[in-house]
């Protein structure tokens, strides 16, 4: 299967220095591309991102598949 584009957000906790509080569910990093690729290559990228950010839990996907227009 071919993936046309992707966007991955890494979420976690951040420390806010001014308020001296921990902020939860914050976007720590965003990775996205409009360069198409095979789904197996995307799976490899996801594994590398999970390893580098220690983000192996609570993973969610939002997938949109559009039907080909034959007109």
pLDDT of residue 44: 94
pLDDT of residue 19: 86
pLDDT of residue 70: 82
pLDDT of residue 2: 93
Mean pLDDT for back-to-back runs of 10 residues, the chain (71 residues): 94 88 92 94 94 91 88 75
How does 46-60 read in b/e, with b if 16+ C-beta sit within 10 Å?
A: beeeeeeeebeeeee
pLDDT of residue 69: 87
Can you give the residue ranges of every domain in the chain?
Answer: 2-53
- Provide the 3-class DSSP secondary structure of residue 62: coil
């Amino acid at each position: 299967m071919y993936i046309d584009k992707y966007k991955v957000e890494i979420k976690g906790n951040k420390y806010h220095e001014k308020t001296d509080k921990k902020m939860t569910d914050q976007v720590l990093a965003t990775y996205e591309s409009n360069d198409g690729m095979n789904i197996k290559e995307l799976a490899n990228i996801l594994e590398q991102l999970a390893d580098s950010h220690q983000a192996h839990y609570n993973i969610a996907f939002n997938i949109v598949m559009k039907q080909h227009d034959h007109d």
